[in-house]
Amino acid sequence: MEELLNTMKSLLLEEVAAIPIGRLLAAVLVACLAGVLIGVVYRVTYGGVLFNRQFLLGLVLMSMITSTIILAISSNLVLSLGMVGALSIVRFRTAIKEPMDTIFMFWALAAGILAGAGFFLIAILATLIVGVLFILLKACGRFFRPSDSYLLIVRYGLEAEKPLKAALRKLSAPKVKSKRSTADGQELVLEVRLSGEQMKALDAVRALPGVQELNLVANCQDTQL
C-alpha cells in the first residue's frame, strides 16, 4: 500500500518533462504540412459559392496547435488531466453550416494528434491517402450521378391545369411538395430530377397557355450548369 501511494505521489508531483526543441519543430512542421495538404483538398473539392479563406487557414493552424497540445499532454499526467478539464468547458459559438466543414476540422485535428504523438510518417501518409480517396469519391459521385434534384415552382391559371399535368408527367418522377390556390391562380411546388435533356422539356411547360411563372431552384449544393 505504501509503495502504491509513493508511486502515485511521484506521478502526480513530477515536473513537466523537457520537450526537445527538435521534436517540437518536427511536430509543428509535419502538422503544418499535413494542414496544407488538407487545405489543398478542401480548396479543390469545395462546391459552394462563397469560399472562406479564413477557414482554410484555420485548418492549417488547427493542425499545428493540436500537435503542440498533444506534446504538452504527453509530458505530464497532471497537465494532461488539467488540459482535459479545461478543454471540456470550452464552448465554440461559431455555427458550422456545412457538414463537410466539420469533417475537415476533424481531419485537421487527427493530423495534429498524429504529429504531436510523434507518428510523423503516419500523419503524412494518412493525409495523402484520405485526400486522394476523397477527391476520387467526389469525382466519381459527380460522374455517376444521373440527374440533379430541383424544386420546380409553377404559377398558373385554372385553364392550364390539365395540359400542365400532362407536360409534367414527362419529367422524371415528379413529387408534389405543396399546392396553393390564390386569387390570381394556383401555385404548384414539385421536386424533380432533371438531366440535361429534360431541361428542354421545361421550355414546353413554360410555353403552355395559362402558365404565368416558372421557377427552378437547385435542391443540392453541387449542381453544375
Between residues 51 and 23, the one the model is more confident about: 23
Query: Which three cell numbers, joined as nine digits, stand for 213?
Result: 411563372
Query: Which three cell numbers, joined as nine digits, stand for 52?
Result: 472562406
User: Is the CB of residue 80 less than 8 Å from the CB of residue 31?
Assistant: no
Using pLDDT thresholds of 50, 70 and 90, give the confidence band for residue 126. Answer: very high
Min mean pLDDT across 1-10, 62-71, 146-155 is at: 1-10
pLDDT single digits (tens) 61-114: 999 998 988 887 776 655 555 565 555 555 655 666 677 888 899 999 999 989
For residue 83, the model assigns a pLDDT of 61
Query: Which three cell numbers, joined as nine digits, stand for 169?
Result: 408527367
DSSP H stretches of helix in the chain = 2-13, 21-45, 53-73, 77-88, 99-116, 120-144, 161-168, 201-206
User: Is the CB of residue 104 less than 8 Å from the CB of residue 57?
Assistant: no
For residue 7, the model assigns a pLDDT of 63
CATH 3.30.70.260 in the chain is located at 148-218
- Residues whose CB falls within 8 Å of the CB of residue 38, separated by 6 or more in sequence, listed in order: 59, 60, 63, 104, 107, 108, 111, 127, 131
Cα dist. 8→12, 32, 66, 123 in Å? 6, 37, 28, 33
For residue 138, the model assigns a pLDDT of 82
Percent above pLDDT 90 for the chain: 22
Superfamily of domain 148-218: ACT domain (3.30.70.260)
Q: Which contacts (CB < 8 Å, 24+ apart) does range 51-58 have?
A: 55/101
Tell me the β-bridge partners of 156: 186, 211
- Rounded to an integer, the average pLDDT of 33-60 is 86
* Residues 92-121 as b or e (16 or more Cβ within 10 Å = b): eeeeeeeebbeebbebbbbbbbbbbbbebe
Between residues 1 and 60, the one the model is more confident about: 60
